[in-house]
Structure 1
Amino acid sequence: MNSRKLLSETRRTFPATKAHCQQPSRILIVDFTSPSWASTCSVLSEALENTLCLVCGLAGPCRVPLLSLYVVQPQKECLLPFTQVKENFARIQACISELRSLPAEGCFPQGGNGVVQAVQDGLQQFKQYSRHAAAGGSTNSSVEITIFTSQSSKEMVKQMEKKLKDVDLVSLRRIQVIEILKRDFLEPEGVEQCVPAEEHSSSDIAILGMDIDVQTVEDNVISLEMLFKTWLHDYGTEREQLHLLLPSGGFSHAAAPKSTIMCLKCDLQERLLDPALLSGTADGTARAGYPSSLWHVAAWPATGLHKLRVVKALKSEGVCESVLYGLPFIIKPTSCWQLDWDELETNQQSFHALCHSLLKRKWMLLAKHEPQNTSPNWNTVVHSYYIIVPSDSATLLVKAVAIRELLLPSTFPALLAEHPERVCGPIESALNSLEVEVAYNPLHLKSNLYKYLKSSLYKPPHRQPTQPREQRPERHQPKQTQSRAKAAVAPLLMASSPLQTFRPAAARRHSCEHSPLPKE
């Protein structure tokens, strides 16, 4: 995934208000006016379906609370009005099936008008939905818009700059313009493409007092899936999540006293999803829905400020892998918007210096977790300890490390220096037959988890048994009244009619030949 700067200077803007520990709602706009969208439509739909089955299958707070989907061909059409993602996978799956069936050969005139209209309509619909939700006691005050197109992202940004001047953008947190690039060559059938897992960067374009991310991505399932999975990260930036406490290290007598500490303000980011939070998986469901235990650094989302006090340094070669446990977390310098710019910059530079020094010394850090609750009810405080590992990037990795009470006795017999040839020969032959890779890439392995989640989450619509004609009650209301109940909000002036929300795919003349059932 690549990105490029479209303006000579970029500007960081800080929002005036933030939702408290709340994920933004999502508006997805798919631009079908570009040529040769048949293959792109297929991989985009598969990547979106894969990500949303994870969202629906994860226990705990929903990471994508609301979703709305628009297509532009060339006029905008709302395939899915704002819908709560959890408990609605069947409806979302039906919408994705309709997305697959759309004409996708670029037979429409290009231009940014339809996309801008979809942005305006989505914002108006979100404002109305938020008004209804606030009346019911729930709040969701921010929304992000993601636009997929094969047109020039530079031209699309210019269109938005012209036509969004008079639109209320208070609730809009960010716009992403994703320009999808075609592959230079086609991979053989059945061969899955391998792309770097972490090539995710963006350029922020400051227009209209807000930021627009412009990115380019290849049109394959893995690249698009990794982009959609960024929705699963914690987007709360109203405060830092971790304080990393280091000794001051003064060298002169005039330096600060020994009690003075250096505090690096950091954020925590998940590296992996916890399999125990996926409903019905083989790893067990006993922990699903439960808060993180005493031995874990953070749950999702971060519920409070964590403090890790560094107690000593360790040689990297002196840490045994068998005493590390639990899911890893990535530590980054904080991006908390409440800190002033100078403090953010100084904090980031200090963090980078720490990463560089640890890497140069080949050190790890041993840190003690400071208790969050100092209530008098806690007669005894149980401390947990963590190992902080540097890398060649500007991040640190933190994992829980075993303590005396948890460690079990083990015996490790010494390895013999020599072995009989009759034993070594078959073993060497077996090892020589294995394919050797330079590095492990998790994108090479599939466990059928998506297929399992889709089948377990899919709930076919309930059909009532048919009654004889003479026993059927008379209908005093027209059929259109029942169809209107499908819309999440009342029809808007700019929004398409809810009667068009779920059209039969067979009604389209130029529909792609895709099965309405989910595919893996």
Structure 2
Amino acid sequence: MNSRKALSETRRTFPATKVHHQQPSRILIVDVTAPSWTNSCSVLAEALENTLCLACGLAGPCRVPLLSLFVVQSQQECLLPFTQVKENFARIQACISELRSLPREGCFPQGGNGVVQAVQDGLQQFKQYSRHTAAGGSTNSSVEITILTSQPSKQMVQQLEKKLKDVDLVSLRRIQVVEVLKRDFLEPEAVEQCVPAGESSSSDVAILGMDIDVQTIEDNVISLEMLFKTWLHDYGTEREHLHLLLPTGGFSHAAAPKTALMCLKCDLQERLLDPALLSGTADGTTRAADLNSPCQMAAWPATVLYKLRVVKALKSEGVCESVLYGLPFIIKPTSCWQLDWDELEINQHSFHALCHSLLKRKWMLLAKREPQNTSPSWNVMLHSYYVLVPSDSASLLVKAVATRELLLPSTFPALLTEHPERVCAPVESALNSLEVEVAYNPLHLKSNLYKYLKGVLYKPLHRQQAQPRDQRPERHQPKQHQSRAKAAVAPLLMAPSPVQVSRPAAVGRGSSERSLLPKEYDEFLQ
């Protein structure tokens, strides 16, 4: 049972909720009752802002379509009701500023039902929002909840199990309980080399017919940033992304059927974000290469089923890096929930056996991409080729490889075996002065991309609605709540309506039985 449970984390989380590769809405619940909130506050705010500026700056469909943010103090409070992330970076920044302004003394009592109540409020808010947006022709079928807390994760899971027995969880895709550990004397090098959130200690707790993902991460910007960056991945499991086709053994004679192939069903995952999609234009006017062209594959979103037919094996030392191009993708065994358990298990074991055998032989694989259709509009079908590189992490790295048509001529003289001492000495001295690292760690390099995107995306709220002071409408609200009015933004109106939202206060204190949306939306929620 343990091996089968490890096959797919998402299979048991309500497979009837078909997402069609649409990213889920996100609810982030921050428990600020811990004494370490003083340090956690700035760390969390920076990590969240960095990730969301990427989500806003990426061209194409938004990978974090809707976001809601709750904080738990003495009571739960919704700082940001469900808001479309794309083109709303100013609202998100205002909400993060509000998060930074919360008291940092850790004076709030721990325990209680604040986190559980925030989960109930968030689910109620999502239910109301989904019903409201359905009237405008838009659907939001699932939601994921991430809880950041310093309380023991087991205690938190027990509270959730007890309190959510009678709550409607059909739209809930997953609950992720993240226990943030405080390291008082953490060296800077240790912070930079910390384990990413996706590789941190985690386990699944099966309750209520679904999974609660329990993780433990360190209290630093990189760990939290990697946690939030998992939101940018496509975890759609409705179908596999790629079929890897290998010839079956024992068919060396001429009468062997040419269609006898072993098919490994796999999923694609991005290794890097495409820099061409982060050119600084949030409206997506600058496009990367066509993701459906013969030489490109896309890991997000997985809109087509790719087929790669292995045609040759290559010695690892015989592949020159200069003929590889394009972004690398990761190939993993599929976690498609529509496959039977037995098929998933056999497929995973076969994939692991392939990786092991390739590593033992020091081989790579050369694969040709099969055409997407059998009746092309042109008489000639274009082919593209890829190199599959094994690793000891039970995955394959895939990169496009150059063909004859793309290759440019190049002639280089042979490297001399001996050089004059007067030439070698200065070069050797220069090399000896360099710091040497055993392996390249991208966490050690920053390009100022976050600062650049924040500057490009930042648009002050109501900048285009400025009016002379004597013409501005009267705002009947206490002065002490004006800063929070910018953060607590009501969800964008999806259905046609002349109503203008102007409620200033933060939403969501108290019971989840009452509406968590502004009163102006009540007419759409009947």
- TM-score range normalised by the length of the shorter chain: 0.7 to 0.9
Question: What is the CA distance between 1:479 and its match in structure 2?
Answer: 6.7
Matches within 5 A, 1:307-322: 307-322=307-322
Label 1:364 to 1:45 Cα distance change in 2 as closer, same or farther (>3 A).
Answer: same
Question: What is the CA distance between 1:468 and its match in structure 2?
Answer: 7.4
Q: List per-residue Cα deviations over 1:120-163 (Å, max 9, x = no partner).
A: 00001001111111111111100000000000110010001110
Give the aligned partner of residue 410 of structure 1.
410
**Aligned amino acid, residue 136 of structure 1:** G
Give the aligned partner of residue 505 of structure 2.
500
Say which SS state the counterpart of residue 499 (structure 1) adopts. Answer: coil
Question: What is the CA distance between 1:279 and its match in structure 2?
Answer: 3.1
Give the aligned partner of residue 166 of structure 2.
166
Contact 2:21 2:301 in 1 (8 A): yes
Identity across matched positions, percent? 80
Give the aligned partner of residue 143 of structure 1.
143
CA distance in 2, matches of 1:102, 1:277: 35
Say which SS state the counterpart of residue 202 (structure 1) adopts. Answer: strand
Q: TM-score by structure 2 length?
A: 0.86
Matches within 5 A, 1:258-277: 258-277=258-277
Give the aligned partner of residue 491 of structure 2.
488
Q: List per-residue Cα deviations over 1:190-239 (Å, max 9, x = no partner).
A: 99632234624531110001100000000000011011101100121100
Question: What is the CA distance between 1:378 and its match in structure 2?
Answer: 3.1
Matches within 5 A, 1:345-384: 345-384=345-384
Contact 1:278 1:288 in 2 (8 A): no
Question: What is the CA distance between 1:474 and its match in structure 2?
Answer: 7.8
Q: List per-residue Cα deviations over 1:310-347 (Å, max 9, x = no partner).
A: 00101111101000000000000000000010000000
Contact 1:193 1:220 in 2 (8 A): no
CA distance in 2, matches of 1:337, 1:12: 5
Question: What is the CA distance between 1:48 and its match in structure 2?
Answer: 0.4
Label 1:59 to 1:201 Cα distance change in 2 as closer, same or farther (>3 A).
Answer: farther
Give the aligned partner of residue 331 of structure 1.
331
CA distance in 1, matches of 2:505, 2:119: 19
Question: What is the CA distance between 1:473 and its match in structure 2?
Answer: 8.1
Asked whether 1:195 is paired with 2:198, we answer no
CA distance in 1, matches of 2:362, 2:21: 37
Say which SS state the counterpart of residue 419 (structure 1) adopts. Answer: coil
Contact 1:41 1:99 in 2 (8 A): yes
Asked whether 1:448 is paired with 2:453, we answer no
Aligned CA-pair RMSD: 2.7
Give the aligned partner of residue 175 of structure 1.
175
**Aligned amino acid, residue 499 of structure 1:** P
Asked whether 1:98 is paired with 2:98, we answer yes
CA distance in 2, matches of 1:329, 1:308: 13
**Aligned amino acid, residue 417 of structure 2:** A
Give the aligned partner of residue 386 of structure 2.
386
CA distance in 1, matches of 2:504, 2:364: 60
CA distance in 1, matches of 2:108, 2:204: 30
Give the aligned partner of residue 219 of structure 2.
219
Label 1:474 to 1:286 Cα distance change in 2 as closer, same or farther (>3 A).
Answer: closer
Question: What is the CA distance between 1:36 and its match in structure 2?
Answer: 2.0
**Aligned amino acid, residue 85 of structure 1:** V
CA distance in 2, matches of 1:72, 1:473: 35
Give the aligned partner of residue 42 of structure 1.
42
Give the aligned partner of residue 432 of structure 2.
432
Question: What is the CA distance between 1:392 and its match in structure 2?
Answer: 1.4
CA distance in 2, matches of 1:29, 1:124: 14
Asked whether 1:19 is paired with 2:19, we answer yes
Give the aligned partner of residue 6 of structure 1.
none
Greater CA deviation, 419-428 or 366-375?
A: 366-375
How many residues matched?
480
Contact 1:365 1:388 in 2 (8 A): yes
Say which SS state the counterpart of residue 304 (structure 1) adopts. Answer: coil
**Aligned amino acid, residue 279 of structure 1:** S
Contact 1:81 1:489 in 2 (8 A): no
Say which SS state the counterpart of residue 243 (structure 1) adopts. Answer: strand
Question: What is the CA distance between 1:259 and its match in structure 2?
Answer: 2.6
Question: What is the CA distance between 1:101 and its match in structure 2?
Answer: 0.9
Contact 1:291 1:299 in 2 (8 A): no
Contact 1:323 1:402 in 2 (8 A): yes
Contact 1:195 1:223 in 2 (8 A): yes
Greater CA deviation, 348-357 or 256-265?
A: 256-265
Say which SS state the counterpart of residue 192 (structure 2) adopts. Answer: coil
Label 1:260 to 1:433 Cα distance change in 2 as closer, same or farther (>3 A).
Answer: same
Q: List per-residue Cα deviations over 1:31-70 (Å, max 9, x = no partner).
A: 0111121101110110000000000000001000000000
Unaligned segments of structure 1, at least 5 residues? 1-9, 491-496, 503-520
CA distance in 2, matches of 1:386, 1:56: 31
Label 1:378 to 1:72 Cα distance change in 2 as closer, same or farther (>3 A).
Answer: same
Contact 2:290 2:296 in 1 (8 A): no
Greater CA deviation, 404-413 or 457-466?
A: 457-466
CA distance in 2, matches of 1:240, 1:465: 50
Contact 1:368 1:383 in 2 (8 A): yes
Question: What is the CA distance between 1:187 and its match in structure 2?
Answer: 3.8
Label 1:119 to 1:339 Cα distance change in 2 as closer, same or farther (>3 A).
Answer: same
Question: What is the CA distance between 1:487 and its match in structure 2?
Answer: 1.4
Contact 2:23 2:63 in 1 (8 A): yes
CA distance in 1, matches of 2:103, 2:456: 30
Contact 2:17 2:141 in 1 (8 A): no
Contact 1:326 1:399 in 2 (8 A): yes
Label 1:463 to 1:419 Cα distance change in 2 as closer, same or farther (>3 A).
Answer: same
CA distance in 2, matches of 1:36, 1:468: 43
Contact 2:25 2:64 in 1 (8 A): yes
Give the aligned partner of residue 111 of structure 1.
111
**Aligned amino acid, residue 387 of structure 1:** V
CA distance in 1, matches of 2:491, 2:419: 71
Question: What is the CA distance between 1:374 and its match in structure 2?
Answer: 2.7
Unaligned segments of structure 2, at least 5 residues? 1-8, 494-501, 508-526
Question: What is the CA distance between 1:105 and its match in structure 2?
Answer: 2.3
Contact 1:60 1:289 in 2 (8 A): no
